[in-house]
Amino acid sequence: MTCVAVVSGGPSPEAEVSRSGAPAVARALRNTGFQVLELELDARLPAALLEGRVDAVFPVVHGAVGEDGCLQGLLEVLDVPYVGSGVLASALAMNKPQAKLALRAAGLPLAREATFVRGEPVEGRAAAVRASVGRELVVKPASGGSAIGVVRVAAADPDSALVAAVERVWKDDPEALVETTVHGEELTCGVLEEDERGARALPVTLIRPKADFYDFTSKYRPGESEHLCPAPLSADVARRIAEAAVRAHTALGCRDLSRVDFLLPSDGAFVVLEVNTLPGMTATSLFPEAAKASGIEFEALCSALVRRALARPRRQTPLVRAMP
């Protein structure tokens, strides 16, 4: 029987989100005929993977070490197939400023931004950044998710509020991303690769949080947000969002699955917020909801992703050249 390790946890602020989604994935895989090991992302993981004679890994991880290419690099060294994007795409998508470089080069619409690296004098740039990026701002960790550590700066706030926001974000991340605030509806669109035809968009989801924005509580506490899937959009807007999601997935070199987040102002000029290479798999998660809306039940989704990983060509050992 094929043995799949479902890996969750790790040294990330999103570890509990990861651990809450892993049991559902493990159950789905057992119900579809796989032997499953549930493992924690820690220093004992390499030995556990080898001792368990694992055939494939399903990472249900978010944030540092798990979603940023580190776990993927370990699995490449061990030559174990795994669900999701490879090392480069994982690392690129996790670092929002670097991802925006690739997305902008692909012609995708993005919010104006600036970055502050920990330790640089923020006071000297605050006024200039607000003049070029906008007075109303969102400040967030450059690498991270689930809206953890996000600080908002109102247009009427003094420049010292931006300084304080950046210094607050630096407590979580060595780089702060500052973006202009875009007012609009929150949308997300999953992207799924199923066969040789490549990536396709799942139905677009409209998110209506009860809070001012889609924060951590809105994302994960049942009843704190409403998900409308398919989103009540015009056919043209839904098509453009779906096309942009696939373009973003492709621009970052993602694999298997991703979820692309958007903001849609009233004028229809949407912006791409970010690309998630390992979308959540909790009871309130958006990717499984969209898959179901397209006719793919959760068990079939998990099973298909593992079989896709197993079907990929394995890494070939190169011929080692002798020293001259």
- Annotated catalytic residue 16: no
Q: For residue 289, what are the contacts with CB-CB under 8 A and spacing of at least 6?
A: 205, 227, 229
- Annotated catalytic residue 82: no
- Annotated catalytic residue 208: no
233 phi and psi angles, rounded to 5 deg: -115, 160
- Annotated catalytic residue 261: yes
User: In the structure encoding, which two tokens stand for residue 4, read together?
Assistant: 């799949």
- Annotated catalytic residue 280: yes
For the chain, the maximum distance between any two Cα atoms, rounded to a whole number of angstroms, is 69
Which residue in 276, 289, 303, 308 is the catalytic one?
276
Which residue in 259, 285, 289, 303 is the catalytic one?
259
User: In the structure encoding, which two tokens stand for residue 93, read together?
Assistant: 């998508």
Q: Is 68 left (phi over 0), alpha (psi -120 to 50) or beta?
A: alpha
- What CA–CA distances, in Å, run from 291 to 45, 203, 264, 268, 288? 30, 8, 22, 25, 5
Which residue in 8, 146, 225, 303 is the catalytic one?
146
Helical axes 298-311 vs 15-31, angle rounded to 10°: 90
Contact 254, 275 (CB under 8 A): yes
Which residue in 173, 256, 261, 289 is the catalytic one?
261
Which residue in 68, 193, 274, 289 is the catalytic one?
274
Contact 308, 193 (CB under 8 A): yes
Which residue in 220, 225, 247, 256 is the catalytic one?
220
- Annotated catalytic residue 225: no
Note the helical H segments in the chain: 15-31, 45-51, 70-78, 87-94, 96-105, 123-133, 159-170, 216-220, 235-251, 286-293, 298-311
Active-site annotation, residues: 14, 146, 220, 259, 261, 274, 276, 280
